[in-house]
Amino acid sequence: MKNIPVLHVSGNSLAEAYENGLVNLYRGGMPMKTQYDRPQDPPSIDATMNITVVQPWADPMIHKAFPGGIADLREYVMELQGAKDHWMKNMNDENDTRWEYTYHWRLHDYGSWKERSAKSGTQETVGPFRINQIDGIIDKLAEQPYTRQAQMITWMPNIDLSCYDPPCLQSLHYRIVTDDDGTWYLNCNVRFRSNDAWGASFMNMFGFIHFNRDIVAAGVAARTGKTVALGRLNWHADSYHLYGKDIEDFERRLIARLDEPFETRVFLFFDPSIQEIYREAETEVEKKIERYDERHRRDGA
């Protein structure tokens, strides 16, 4: 085969679209090696994928077949909203093994990074410029909801072309359409250069649905006084892949269950019991961050 497959799926809810994407990847993707394979690993299954979630804020939102739990989803939503920005490493310290970036930092403070000051030894923000893209696109959408210029990017070539683990997320593009009743609907296109279909993509999609609602839509609503809801989410991955090491687990947890009713494979996010778990997880996530911070303070990072 000389061409990487290009696959297109959709679903009314996140859980439905996510499952359709995984099944179509499994059936229509191609085998391909990755730079992360161990000698004993089979090839990954790879494709360029386009997934449309028609109603991102609708149930069933949560698919049971993702490697994580409700608390992990809450933690990721908090991370995308900046809770772990201070976990970034000093880029001029080869002994600092923390993260090279966070998505929130790249969106909120694009053009800058962290370094340890040679004079004071403290961590400083450096870079040629520092742009808050989040506020910028909210301002654009509030002023002109149909603009084609409300875009945020993460890629910084001066860092990422030689980075071991550069950002997978590349861009977010927004436009707003108005319903007959005057409600504004925030439509979003998300592009990933690389997306781990089994190990990460559900959490990515869930997280950015909440980011779009809690940060972008809420920001536009606050500036305009309009009711701003979520329209469709279009998720594009240049490489949507199922790692060879994960195929057996994927087949057991999803493919083997496709004959069962769809309702048995999902959770309702707005179910009161799920909402309780989700809300209560915030306290434990905050404690986890505090423990991490204390450990790194002791280590001098």
For residue 215, pLDDT over 70 is answered with yes
| pLDDT computed for residue 164 by the predictor | 84
Q: How confident is the model at residue 64 (pLDDT cuts 50, 70, 90)?
A: very high
Residue 230 CB partners (closer than 8 Å, separation 6+) = 55, 56, 57, 185, 186, 188, 209, 212, 213, 217
Domain ranges of the chain: 6-87+131-299
Alpha-carbon gap, residue 70 to 73, rounded angstroms: 5
Integer angstrom CA distances of residue 157 from 35, 87, 111, 129: 20, 21, 10, 14
Q: How confident is the model at residue 39 (pLDDT cuts 50, 70, 90)?
A: confident
Phi and psi, residue 211, nearest 5° = -60, -45
| pLDDT computed for residue 300 by the predictor | 59
Alpha-carbon gap, residue 267 to 253, rounded angstroms: 15
Count of CB atoms situated within 10 Å of the CB of 234: 17
Q: What architecture is domain 6-87+131-299?
A: 2-Layer Sandwich (3.30)
More confident residue, 152 or 98: 152
Amino acid at 97: T
pLDDT tens column, 1-20:
799 999 999 999 999 999 99
Alpha-carbon gap, residue 58 to 69, rounded angstroms: 19
The fraction of the chain above a pLDDT of 70, given in percent, is 99
- Of the candidates 51, 37, 55, the residue with the CA atom closest to the CA atom of residue 7: 51
pLDDT tens column, 108-165:
999 999 999 888 878 899 999 999 999 999 999 999 999 999 999 999 999 999 988 8
The answer to whether residues 73 and 279 touch, using CB atoms and an 8 Å cutoff, is no
- Of the candidates 9, 19, 96, the residue with the CA atom closest to the CA atom of residue 254: 19
For residue 36, pLDDT over 90 is answered with no
* Average confidence (pLDDT) over 91-112: 94
Instruction: List 192's β-bridge partners, or say none.
Output: 169, 237
What tokens does 62 get?
């949560």
- Per the prediction, the chain carries an average pLDDT of 95
How many helices (H) and strands (E) in the chain?
A: 9, 12
Distance from chain centroid for Cα 16 = 18
| pLDDT computed for residue 270 by the predictor | 98
The answer to whether residues 137 and 153 touch, using CB atoms and an 8 Å cutoff, is no
Amino acid at 169: L
Residue 132 CB partners (closer than 8 Å, separation 6+) = 108, 109, 110
* Average confidence (pLDDT) over 36-48: 92
| pLDDT computed for residue 299 by the predictor | 65
The answer to whether residues 259 and 212 touch, using CB atoms and an 8 Å cutoff, is no
